[in-house]
Amino acid sequence: MSVWRRTLDLLLGRRPVLMQVGAICRDPASGNVLLITSRDTGRWVIPKGWPMEGRTLPGAAAQEAWEEAGVRGRIRPAELGRFRYRKQQDQGYAVPVEMRVYLLSVDSVSDRFPEARQRKRRWFAPVEAACMVVEPGLKQILAGLDRPDAA
Question: Which pTM value belongs to this model?
Answer: 0.85
Q: Are 79 and 141 in contact (CB under 8 A)?
A: no
Distance, CA of 47 to CA of 75 (rounded, Å):
13
Encode pLDDT of 22-43 as tens digits. Answer: 999 999 999 999 999 999 889 9
pLDDT at 5: 58
pLDDT at 83: 95
pLDDT at 9: 57
Q: Are 56 and 77 in contact (CB under 8 A)?
A: yes
Which residues, in sequence order, are bridge partners of residue 81?
A: 101
pLDDT at 8: 53
Give the containing element (helix H, strand E) for 129.
helix 126-132
pLDDT at 64: 98
Encode pLDDT of 43-86 as tens digits. Answer: 999 999 999 999 999 999 999 999 999 999 999 999 999 999 98
